[in-house]
Structure 1
Amino acid sequence: MKDDGRPLFLQIAEQIENAIIDGSLSEETKAPSTNELAAFHRINPATAANGVNRLVADGVLYKKRGIGMFVANGARTRLLEQRREAFAQAYIAPLLTEARKLGMDAEDLKKMIDAWRHDA
């Protein structure tokens, strides 16, 4: 795990979320065990368990007793909605605030985005 200042258990949870979002972990498939995560990342199993338990509490994973953790139905959709909302709060809201300060409207922003897309 890289040291990005966030707790390791949050990084573990985000790694699993990313795998669900990108489709490498499908709904109703078995998620990596806390021991597998701990061994792979060379961290304490309790830390890995904290990340997994966070996803269980959020309804992203569920436990099949004696078998392991599985990706819940609807997990990808739920995660995409959460990430889109976070994206809007982090990027769209400040963008709109600054655009208003500059006297720009939605059409001005659309033109600017289109111009950047074509230049990239």
Structure 2
Amino acid sequence: MLNPDSVKPIYVQIAEWLETEILQERFKADDKMYSQYQLADQFNINPATAAKGLTILADAGILYKKRGLGMFVTEQAADQIRHRRINETLTALVSEIVEEAAHLNVGEQELIHMIQQEGKRRKGAVR
């Protein structure tokens, strides 16, 4: 879950964890999100840190506020998260993998095979 030794600030880790909760459909459109106090209790962190993570998602249009009621998941939240993670995170990771493969003289087909094997391994582990 949260890694206090990570270079990523805790509030960023909170935001990413909440995004994953949305992607895994633990929260759907218009569902009420955890409050800053629930997150603070759950992760044993300062409520202001938790609030900062929620604010990141609100600023990105993933959550919206209902005055006096809390934060809720927007209709397009999962699509937005998926789109951003593919275009930013996944693209950067693929670029790093391809660069490392080139340094090691690993060809495209071998790299594709490695990715396919990992996919098969993960599918077997899920069952």
TM-score by length of 1: 0.81
Go from structure 1 to structure 2 and tell me whether the alpha carbon gap of 1:80 and 1:2 turns closer, same or farther (over 3 Å shift). same
**3-state SS in 2 of match to 1:25:** coil
Go from structure 1 to structure 2 and tell me whether the alpha carbon gap of 1:16 and 1:103 turns closer, same or farther (over 3 Å shift). closer
1:104 corresponds, among 102, 107, 121, to 107
Q: Distance in 1 between matches of 2:115 and 2:45?
A: 42
1:81 aligns with 2:83: yes
2:73 corresponds, among 51, 65, 71, to 71
1:11 aligns with 2:13: yes
Give % identity: 33
The runs of at least 4 consecutive aligned structure 1 residues that moved more than 2 Å come to 94-105, 107-114, 116-120
Go from structure 1 to structure 2 and tell me whether the alpha carbon gap of 1:64 and 1:95 turns closer, same or farther (over 3 Å shift). same
Instruction: Give the aligned CA root-mean-square deviation in angstroms.
Output: 2.3
Q: Distance in 2 between matches of 1:23 and 1:83?
A: 16
Q: Distance in 2 between matches of 1:13 and 1:65?
A: 21
Counterpart position of 1:52? 54
Q: Which consecutive residues of structure 2, in runs of 5 or more, have no partner in the other structure?
A: 122-127
TM-score by length of 2: 0.77
Cα drift, residue 110 of structure 1:
3.5
Q: Give the length in aligned residue pairs.
A: 117
Within 5 Å, which residues of 2 pair with 1:109-120? 109-114=111-116, 116-117=117-118, 120=121
Q: Which deviates more, 66-75 or 39-48?
A: 39-48
Go from structure 1 to structure 2 and tell me whether the alpha carbon gap of 1:98 and 1:44 turns closer, same or farther (over 3 Å shift). closer
- Structure having the higher Rg: 1
Cα drift, residue 113 of structure 1:
3.9
Q: Which consecutive residues of structure 1, in runs of 5 or more, have no partner in the other structure?
A: none
Q: Distance in 2 between matches of 1:43 and 1:113?
A: 37
Q: Distance in 2 between matches of 1:88 and 1:79?
A: 14
Letter in 2 for 1:64: K
